[in-house]
A and B are shown apart, each in its own frame.
Chain A
Amino acid sequence: MKRLGLILLAVVGLGASYWSVQKPSTNESNSAKSELIIESWRSDDLAAWNEKILPVFNAQNPNINVVFRPSPATEYNAALNTKLAGGTAGDLITCRPFDASLKLFNEGNLLALNDIAGLKHYSNFAKTAWQTDDLKTTFCIPLASVIHGFIYNQNIFKSLSLQKPKTVDDFYKALDVVSSKGGITPIALGTADQWEAATMGFHNIGVNYWQGEKGRLGLISGKEKLSDKAYVETFTQLEKWAPFMGNGYKAQTYTQSQALFTSGKAAIYPAGSWDIASFNGKVEFEMSAFAPPLPTGQSECFISDHTDIGLGINAKSGKLEAAKKFIEWLTTAEFAQIYANNLPGFFPLSNHEIKIEDPLANEFLSWRQHCKSSIRNSYHILSRGTPNLENEIWNTSAQVLNKSMSPKEAAQQLQKGLDNWYRPN
């Protein structure tokens, strides 16, 4: 019995000493220089931050040293919560959009940023993802958004003498031409993973039908319903894509859709701008992009410019002054320029005019000039209950594309689900 106790003690002791070795190394600070640590889930962006973005700020502010320290994306929320509770979290916190960050703010972990002067460089829609429900307090600076559109294979378009589609009619004409030629899949999109059907399909083209922010806010205020014409029409368009999606799209996953397009076997790829970075260098043909085609008779265009990443300050950080200085810098044109060029496909949300060298990313960004931006309509407030609206959109969009549900049924199911728990004020 004694020996067992000793062994147990040893195990516990080892664990404790490991813990205590781990802890201080993260909190090391230099009295002359304040070190700021950024918590993030974007491990892919490690090199861009530490080699391109942060050296610029650190050089201008010799007494501050900012370090980017990401955790794996799937563990980020849990790891961050543990670190915040234990007081070992970094000084700057990369914010997930909407409810996850709102919860951190309500628990007192994030600092209110209303006194940051640079906030004036952001439009209202850009800030929504990191504001309290009454839109009065902002707690994270909007960092980047992803834009939806369609990437196409220019070589195929040229060989069939097709023009970049502007309207829905152009779009279907182009699809008809590609499919009549045979051998090439007109649209590279699958429904196996479901989320593509929702994000690359429903959210991508839908903004044009529900008129962007007007429709999105209409749903929240209860003036509009998901069973309205705009949503039925969005689903009707998706249903029309089905014959062009190639054999076996019902079992086609996201990576398979990507491979279909990059191997040159598909003409059009409904995209999120984050695909740009992974497509560059993989394809041996010219790529270009077009915005969601305009519905017949409509002149105003809308794009899904979804706010995805923000950055806030850990309220319990001991270096609030330095952190605020850094946050101010994030609102400048200089930062926007460096960020956009090192992370193509993630677009800064400030109103500064910036130049992006990547032609494809630039094409996506150019849509902001003449189209109105909006975010995905299910992300703000409307996905807090059961059934979850975003999950329902995945399911119904995939079913409409699979032709196992009619557009009208899909729209009605969404509204029925929302009615189950949501009461507009």
Chain B
Amino acid sequence: MMKNVKKRELILFLGPALFFYCVFFVYPMIATIKLSFYETINNDTQNFVGLANFNTLINDPFFSEVFWNALWNNLIFFLFHMFIQNPIGILIALLLVNLSFKAATFYRTAVMLPTMLSFVIVGFIWQLILSPTWGITSILYDVFSIKENTPALLGEESTALITISLVSVWQFIGIPVLLIYAALISINKDILEAIKLEKVGFFKAFFHVHLPMVWPTIALVSILTYVNNFNAFDLIYTVKGPLAGPNFSTDLLGTLFYRTFFGFQLQSGNINLGAAVATAMFLIILIGVSIYLFFVQRRILR
């Protein structure tokens, strides 16, 4: 058999995909990394400057402050997804598998719905829901006759990032639910029957049977969350704009990249510094994914 697979056929089958992968992914990525080592002079000449752009990003007080701030915010944004979205996702998946109530099918669909909505719509409806002037939160305050003013959750420096993180959790909770639900229903029926016969309690069964069986899926969900969160941009942009206010409290690496690369209002874009931010984002994601591949996935395969 193997003899018949000739080089020519290999190229024929892999060629097209490889071609598009290189043209639309590998080349732009290398070009971006290359850009980050240059500076632009008189709008058209590219001049090699080595690591100067990264030095500016990390050591120039006016750049490093925003860069570290964006990185820190991004970390918080990720932790909220990791430790709120994913545990709740597991819980919902577990309930969907174990409890057979009539509305389960409907609920399973409903949990997925926000994931399919556009960022623009999600941003818009949550801005309205949380609006202290018209929103449902102000009505709730009235219902429970709380006399204080409704807080402007999206407008305070102390709460804006947490609020947006939770909105994003609401939007994407469907993905861990879907993946973990699929893993749970594929657990061998014999094992589940054994649990029933042995009269093992719900929690004991969960920690000793279900959880170990879905670890690989949880690891996968975690790495997906990590990659998505460090690439996040859309929701912040639609809700708070590219300046990610108030006072940059919702600024993520994505919004910082947008402002730096494309410019904003009177600030003209700096493609080289922007490319440096993009390269930094790429490295951060690469480190995370490498840790996953070398330590987590290897252990799972063994």
Q: Which residues of A contact B (CB under 8 A)?
A: 1, 4, 98-99, 103, 107, 191-195, 246-253, 256, 260, 378-379, 383-384, 386-391, 394-395, 398-399, 402, 404-405, 417, 420
Contacts and interface: CB of A to CB of B under 8 A. Distances in A.
B87 interface: no
B133 A248 contact: yes
A108 B230 CA distance: 42
B100 interface: no
A2 to B, nearest CB: 10
Contacts of B149: 247-248
Interface string B258-275: 000000111110000000
Interface in B210-247: 240-241, 243, 245-247
B267 A399 contact: no
B63 A386 contact: yes
B132 A390 contact: no
A1 B9 CA distance: 9
| Interface SS majority for chain A | loop
5 contacts: A4-B15, A191-B155, A251-B154, A379-B266, A404-B157
Contact of B131 (A252, A389, A394): A252
Contacts of A247: 132-133, 138, 149-150
Given A248-B132, A256-B131, A417-B62, A193 B241 contact: yes
Contacts of A192: 154-155, 240, 245
A390 B8 CA distance: 60
Given A1-B12, A194-B241, A395-B245, A402 B155 contact: yes
B52 interface: no
Pairs A-B, 3 closest by C-beta atoms: A248-B132, A250-B155, A251-B155
B10 to A, nearest CB: 12
Nearest to A404: B157
Given A248-B133, A252-B133, A194 B245 contact: yes
Contacts, number: 106
Contacts of B247: 395, 398-399, 404-405
Nearest to B44: A107
B264 A249 contact: no
A168 B138 CA distance: 33
Given A1-B15, A191-B245, A194-B243, 16 more contacts: A1-B8, A191-B246, A194-B246, A249-B152, A250-B156, A250-B246, A251-B127, A251-B152, A251-B153, A251-B155, A379-B266, A394-B265, A395-B248, A398-B247, A399-B247, A417-B62
A391 B154 contact: no
Interface in B152-177: 152-157
Contacts of A191: 155, 245-246
Interface of B: 8, 11-12, 15-16, 43, 62-63, 127, 130-134, 138, 149-150, 152-157, 240-241, 243, 245-248, 264-268
Contacts of B241: 193-194
A383 B243 contact: no
A389 B246 CA distance: 17
A246 B155 contact: no
Given A247-B133, A253-B127, A386-B62, A404 B12 contact: no
Contacts of B15: 1, 4
B246 A391 contact: no
A251 B12 CA distance: 56
Contacts of B246: 191, 194, 250, 398-399, 402, 404
B265 A391 contact: yes
Contacts of A417: 62
A42 B150 CA distance: 39
A395 B133 contact: no
A98 B248 CA distance: 27
Contacts of B240: 192
Contacts of B156: 250, 402
B126 to A, nearest CB: 11
Contacts of A386: 62-63, 267
A185 B150 CA distance: 15
